[in-house]
Structure 1
Amino acid sequence: MRIGVISDSHDNLEHLNKIIDIFNGKQKVDLVIHCGDVCSPFAVNILNRLNCEYFGVFGNNDGEILGIQKLSNWRFSKPPILKTINNKKIIIFHEGNIVEFIDESIDYVLFGHTHTPMLKFKGEQTILNPGSLSGYVTKNSTYAIIDLLENKTEILTLESGE
């Protein structure tokens, strides 16, 4: 199973459209996780073009929560969210100030908020911030791909179209 991970899209519709095309095409992901700050309900309409399931958490800049929930068919929730996918435990936050303290029985710890990509490991645990899809603050538009079958995680830039 391949999972696309994005965060901090901040209503950047151009970048959302690009990543949906990448996830539906070249990357062929099976699931997309959004780590918060989609921002407005109209941006969810773009996520609804995905050829796979998606879900996410709310971030500190998500304004119209009810509108986002309705348009996403209730796929967004307040963090944290804990899911088991392909026998892997995945916890999703927006703000990652406690990620270092998450028990190592959780396989993947995903968060956003800082707009800075980060990939590190604590024992067998993967801690991932995909960075900012919007490209605001750092000027780089980044996302991540987790391949659960190959146990591989990588951070990519939107500009490379990888």
Structure 2
Amino acid sequence: MLIGIMSDTHDNLPAIAKAVELFNREKVDLVIHAGDYVAPFVKRELSKLKAPLKGVFGNNDGERKGLSKALGISEEILEINADGMKIIVLHGTNEKIVEAFARSQLYDVIVRGHTHKYEIRETGRSILVNPGEVCGYLTGVKSIAFLDTKKREIKIINLDTEEALGFMSL
């Protein structure tokens, strides 16, 4: 199963469109969003995904009722089982909670956002992945990630150049 991972889209419709185009081209089976969509009108681009979208709220998602209605988002923490891999998704506003999930060793993959900085980090048997920011507002780098559950690989991709920024085998 190929999973596309994104976070911190912050209403940047052209950047969201690029991410959606890449996810569709790579034929992902699922897209995970780790929060900070911001407003319900992002549905205009996210509805073009050919794969199902699952996600959580972030700290900048003020219009939660509208986002829930538009995208079906309803949680701050989401567990996903994909090809036998246990994945936990959270925005990651509280670093103590992120680290507690990592130390718990209950999950194969911890997906988080919030920092706007892409990262892949191993903590015991768990891999923490932050795809960075789709919007590119804070770091200037628009990025997403792919998790291949069959190959057991995670890679982070720059949306503008489509070059790999990070890679890890699980």
Q: Are 1:106 and 2:107 an aligned pair? A: yes
Aligned partner of 1:116 in structure 2 is: 117
C-alpha displacement of 1:67: 1.1
C-alpha displacement of 1:78: 2.5
Single out whichever of 111-120 and 121-130 deviates more from structure 2.
Answer: 121-130
> SS of the counterpart of 1:45?
helix
C-alpha displacement of 1:160: 1.5
Q: Which runs of 5+ in 1 are unaligned?
A: none
Percent of matched pairs sharing the same residue: 38
Aligned partner of 1:12 in structure 2 is: 12
C-alpha displacement of 1:124: 2.3
TM-score, scaled to structure 1? 0.94
Question: Number of residue pairs matched?
Answer: 159
> SS of the counterpart of 1:119?
strand
Single out whichever of 10-19 and 79-88 deviates more from structure 2.
Answer: 79-88
Pairs within 5 Å for 1:1-162 = 1-25=1-25, 27-72=26-71, 74=72, 76-95=73-92, 97=95, 98-102=97-101, 103-161=104-162
Single out whichever of 147-156 and 81-90 deviates more from structure 2.
Answer: 81-90
Aligned equivalents of 1:118 and 1:15: distance in 2? 19
TM-score, scaled to structure 2? 0.89
> SS of the counterpart of 1:5?
strand
Structure 1 runs (4+) deviating above 6 angstroms are: none
Aligned equivalents of 1:157 and 1:14: distance in 2? 14
Aligned equivalents of 1:151 and 1:59: distance in 2? 27
Aligned equivalents of 2:43 and 2:62: distance in 1? 13
Instruction: Please say if residues 34 and 57 of structure 1, whose CA atoms lie closer than 8 Å, have aligned partners that are also in contact.
Output: yes
C-alpha displacement of 1:107: 0.6
Q: Which runs of 5+ in 2 are unaligned?
A: 164-170
C-alpha displacement of 1:138: 0.6
> SS of the counterpart of 1:33?
strand
> SS of the counterpart of 2:27?
coil
Q: CA RMSD in A?
A: 1.1
